[in-house]
Structure 1
Amino acid sequence: MTDSAELAAMMGRFGKAYTRWLAKQLEHTGTTPARARLLLALSCEGSLKMSDLGVQLGVTPRSITKLVDALEGEGLVLRAAHPTDRRATMIHLTPNGKSVCKQILLSSEHGAVTALYDDLSSADRNAMARLLRKLIACLAARGEEA
């Protein structure tokens, strides 16, 4: 029987290996995991205030500014004034940014982000999804938003 400490250690090992694997998968799209997370957040959520984007990604204002500066310089995102808050800056994906998001998600035959999960059976994916939902709910009960 696996105890909580062993499970925590296995999750840590998986997290580190998964992060390295994902970075390798993203290399051919010309981006990094941090940049991909920002682009995909905008793709999923639409335009976001820069401060909200930083909170969602869990990065400091300085780091989000640096990421947005680089992506804006490459023509992947665009800054715009907030329609009602003069102090806020909105971040939008450009058409090129949307194209990069498609590359990240749909590269080659399988998406770079989803390819690993294709190795699991349907039953294993369903069991994993059930457990992840439960862990997300446990974190939410402890005040941590997923």
Structure 2
Amino acid sequence: MPPSQAPLPFDPIDEAARQWGLRWDRVPAMHAVTSLMRVQQLVIGRLDAILRPHGLTFARYEALVLLTFSSRGSLPLGKMGERLQVHPTSVTSIVQRLVQDGLVVRLPHPDDGRGVLAEITPRGRALVEAATKDLVATDFALESLTEDELAELSALLRPVRRDAGDFAD
């Protein structure tokens, strides 16, 4: 990943871990979580920069991809929230913005009079294709890692996600 500023002459997370170790235990856990949070900031920043020319954020892109994956191109808002693992108000906000941009339409749920479906439009599908091409070209902002390292990273994070209830093994 290209640096956003001049690199420091030392690794600030290593230094924080050194200082942490003078006061508290669990230095490896502190170092890992601090590294993880920093990389998350970097990756989200890069993803949003890649998607900005398409008028998207990564959250909005994920919603469009989810609708693309659905067999009918539509899902109830509640199901979108579950699958995206975000709060219902976040889904409503994301869908509202996608509707404003003509990428999604809101429809009444055919089986639930109170429910609402979000359905991707042809324009939304075309945008997903273009944006995905740009994301894939940069390995989703993880081009610094090899294929094996990407697989290892996913495997390392899997138990944390499982223990948080993301899925059952």
Q: Fold match, TM over 0.5? A: yes
What are the superposed Cα offsets for residues 103-126 of structure 1, whole Å, 9 maximum, x if unpaired?
11013xx636625344433xxx22
Q: TM-score, normalised by structure 1?
A: 0.79
Contact 1:79 1:91 in 2 (8 A): yes
Aligned residue pairs, count = 139
Q: Given the superposition, is the C-alpha separation of residues 113 and 77 from structure 1 closer, same or farther in structure 2, using an over 3 Å criterion?
A: farther
Q: Given the superposition, is the C-alpha separation of residues 138 and 65 from structure 1 closer, same or farther in structure 2, using an over 3 Å criterion?
A: closer
Contact 1:104 1:112 in 2 (8 A): no
CA–CA separation in structure 2 for the residues paired with 1:87 and 1:34: 25
Q: Which residue of 1 aligns with 2:8?
A: none
CA–CA separation in structure 2 for the residues paired with 1:90 and 1:44: 15
Q: Which residue of 1 aligns with 2:148?
A: 126
Secondary structure (helix, strand or coil) at the match of 2:79 reads: helix
Unaligned runs of 5+ in 2: 1-26
| Aligned-residue identity in percent | 26
User: Out of 73, 80, 90, which is 2:117 matched to?
Assistant: 90
Q: Which residue of 2 aligns with 1:59?
A: 86
Unaligned runs of 5+ in 1: none
CA–CA separation in structure 2 for the residues paired with 1:72 and 1:50: 13
Q: TM-score, normalised by structure 2?
A: 0.70
What are the superposed Cα offsets for residues 71-119 of structure 1, whole Å, 9 maximum, x if unpaired?
1122111122223222221111110000110111013xx6366253444
Root mean square deviation, CA, Å: 2.4
Q: Which residue of 2 aligns with 1:144?
A: 165
CA–CA separation in structure 2 for the residues paired with 1:83 and 1:133: 40
CA–CA separation in structure 2 for the residues paired with 1:16 and 1:118: 16
Q: Which residue of 2 aligns with 1:43?
A: 68
